[in-house]
Chain A
Amino acid sequence: MTTKPTPESRAPGVVFILKKALISAFVALVLFSLMIGIRTEAGPTGQLIYWTRFGELASLVAIVFGGSIVVELLRQWWGLADKVRVVPPAVQAGLSVAGRLVAPALLIFALLVPVIFYHQRYLLDLGILVLTYVMLGWGLNVVVGLAGLLDLGYVAFYAVGAYSFALLSTNFGLSFWICLPLAGILAACWGVMLGFPVLRLRGDYLAIVTLAFGEIIRLVIINWQSLTGGPNGVSGIPKPTLFGIPLTPGDDGLAARLGIPFSPTHRIVFLFYLILALALLTNWVTIRLRRLPIGRAWEALREDEVACRALGINTTTTKLTAFATGAMFGGFAGAFFATRQGFISPESFTFQESALVLAIVVLGGMGSQLGVALAALTMIGGFELFRGLEQYRMLVFGIAMVLLMIWRPRGLIGHRAPTIFLKQSQAISSDLVKEGHG
């Protein structure tokens, strides 16, 4: 009765907004009165000293009151997912055209980044980092977005890929291009190994076991000192070569062969294009797989596992292939990470990485390739952007994520594109698409 989006109901809406703001302010008052209103400290002789900060308390409560009104007004004007939007059709049509151009524009921009920012090493490094996470996001998207299996231990496969490459290349002197597929295959094997015990688990239970799996891999790496070097990590990992031609200042280096002066930026640019190619390979394979029976079975599994079994789909192999495919891409990304850093240690493969990659997938819109790329750009790039805010960085970042989840609860690109159509491909609303239950 109070929150209808029709203009007539605006008037009672004022009362509603004020009421809501007052409640929020009251909750803030109760919470902050002890946290901020009173400050305690131990005195020089150990006695309790406290003083009041009612000014700060009042201003915070006022901010909550004002903020609540603003949020409520924004909600009424922009509307939530279930409300009618006041965007005229012409603008909507324009937006959809723009939406179709986003992906090609991003791709062209990505190809041109090393040209535009050739002299800004920092931006190139950031680009490589963003692309690494784009690739990880796309890899995890197969497991979480398509098959609907919540995986909180994705970093394990990243670690397996990185250590596979590091150990194979330092111990046996194998080159990057031989190790890359090996790292992917090994990571895929680990994906299957994780897949077997969790086949029967769903939802929260699956999440917990995958979380534990990620930790197990990390702890094994730390403790198996004779193989992995333990906490000291593996150093001296060879740099990648351009099909055998090293990117070094020496006589046989690429610069010398091309007859151009050597610059360390060459290697950065090469790494940039390498990860771009790997990420695009991930993307291409995923898009292809979605249109193949296996990809459709993944999505069907996410929609309804019981129905899948009734149709004769082997859900065991379907789940395992999803885990293996996602893990393989994680392994590729790990191998790239190892060759780029030249040094890896267990510290790089903490749960935080898994959470970050999962956040990218969820924020981007589960199953959407473009959404994941945009989310990786926002999360990793945005995080760097907020560096100037110093200690408030996490706060701003957190607020941004909360706001995004209020307005786009199913991620930046929540709708699903059909894999096949007869007449016209219609985007499927996120309300219908299931998230999967593990």
Chain B
Amino acid sequence: MNGDILLSVDHLTMRFGGIVAVNDLSLAAKRREITALIGPNGAGKTTVFNCITGFYRPTSGTIRMPQDGGAEIKLERLNDFRIAKRAKVARTFQNIRLFPGMTALENLIVAQHNMLMRASGLTFLGLIGAPSWRSAEQRAIDLAKLWLDRIGLLDRADDAAGNLPYGDQRRLEIARAMCTEPVLLCLDEPAAGLNARESAGLNELLLSIRSDYGTSILLIEHDMSVVMEISDHVVVMDYGVKIAEGTPREVRDDPRVIAAYLGADEQEAIAVMESDA
């Protein structure tokens, strides 16, 4: 089943001076699957994300994305923006990073920068208002409208992103990442700060992204109601190493996972996880 692998991280190590944030971690994300990366605070989850999306250059190890036709993209050698551009990996951030002074619509248009840049003939065709540019811009607006509609923000398209409520900002950030038309969507704690109803809505959104676009999702999450409900595969980290992986059910019953979270019984561990979120 090797052909199903979208992203394979092998023996990834990331050191910051003397601190080993991630130690010899291997994980794989399959196509059309939601892979969750969980672990206690400080386990190194966000560091793994930063390595995959190119914000950190790993100390050692490989991050590969097999392509059609046998070639593969070596993510560990690419710059951050090239990973988003060439490997089509999009990400969101733990602390929301929208463009607060731009409208919701503008945020989604900026996400389509590379497509629009080509369509505008590196600005020159756009400057003279060539018809090809106009139609490309219209397509970009249509895509943005589609996503605004999906996340229920079409009415607030012209509002500044910084003025939107917190939950809307989270969804807008996911929509913005989806506007880059990624094959892999990396979400860093998308449910953080959401109430129960909002995180149920988030589950629906993520499941629909996978079913409608076939986008694979890699997810860091503390909210177990999200992780257990939607993920196909869960990887558990603690102190920079992988301590368990498997289906949500397998992971939940794994004594090592429970020990990592509390060293106590399962109910208590989950309660702590939820209070973390």
Contact = CB atoms under 8 A, between A and B. Distances in A.
Contact of B158 (A300, A315, A423, A433): A423
A416 to B, nearest CB: 6
Given A289-B127, A310-B80, A304 B99 contact: yes
B81 A296 contact: no
A48 interface: no
B160 A429 contact: yes
Determine the interface band of chain A, counting residues with CB < 8 A from chain B.
35 or more
Q: Indicate the member of A310, A420, A425 with the most B CB atoms within 10 Å.
A: A310
Interface in B41-83: 53-55, 80-83
A294 interface: yes
Contacts of A303: 99-102
Nearest to A325: B123
Contacts of B92: 310
Interface string B153-181: 01001111011000000000000110010
Contacts of A285: 127
Contact of B127 (A292, A309, A312): A292
Interface string A177-201: 0000000000000000000000000
A300 B159 contact: no
A293 B120 contact: yes
A311 B111 contact: yes
A423 B159 CA distance: 11
B185 to A, nearest CB: 11
Contacts of A422: 105, 141, 145, 154, 157-158
A294 B120 CA distance: 9
Contacts of B55: 306, 309-310
B159 A299 contact: no
Interface string A303-326: 110111111111100000100000
A312 B98 CA distance: 14
Contacts of B158: 418, 421-426
B109 A432 contact: no
B105 A420 contact: yes
Contacts of B101: 299, 302-303, 416, 428, 432-434
Contacts of B180: 311-312
B105 A311 contact: no
A424 B110 CA distance: 19
A418 B106 contact: yes
A288 interface: yes
A430 B109 CA distance: 21
A426 B120 contact: no
B257 to A, nearest CB: 30
A61 interface: no
A312 B102 contact: no
A314 B105 CA distance: 21
A419 interface: yes
A423 B158 CA distance: 7
Nearest to B117: A293
Contact of B120 (A292, A306, A432): A292
B13 interface: no
A99 to B, nearest CB: 19
Q: Indicate the member of B100, B101, B103 with the most A CB atoms within 10 Å.
A: B101
A297 interface: yes
A292 B158 CA distance: 18
A188 B62 CA distance: 40
B93 interface: yes
B120 to A, nearest CB: 5
Contacts of A297: 110, 113, 117
B91 interface: yes
B11 interface: no
Interface string B178-198: 001000000000000000000
Contacts of A315: 81
A424 B158 CA distance: 7
A313 B99 CA distance: 14
Nearest to A429: B160
B102 A300 contact: yes
B199 to A, nearest CB: 23
B15 to A, nearest CB: 22
Contacts of B127: 285, 288-289, 292
A189 B102 CA distance: 30
B106 A420 contact: yes
Nearest to B159: A426
Contacts of B85: 312, 314
A311 B117 contact: no
Nearest to B96: A307
A294 B99 contact: no
B126 interface: yes
26 contacts: A292-B120, A292-B123, A292-B127, A294-B117, A296-B113, A299-B102, A307-B93, A307-B98, A307-B99, A310-B53, A310-B84, A310-B97, A312-B113, A313-B81, A321-B123, A418-B103, A418-B105, A418-B158, A422-B141, A422-B154, A423-B158, A428-B160, A432-B100, A432-B162, A433-B100, A433-B101
Given A303-B101, A314-B85, A421-B103, 10 more contacts: A292-B123, A292-B127, A294-B117, A296-B106, A304-B97, A311-B111, A311-B176, A321-B123, A428-B160, A434-B101
Which 5 pairs between the two chains have the least Cβ-Cβ distance?
A: A312-B84, A433-B101, A303-B99, A312-B85, A432-B162
Interface of A: 285, 288-289, 292-294, 296-297, 299-300, 302-304, 306-315, 321, 416, 418-426, 428-429, 432-434
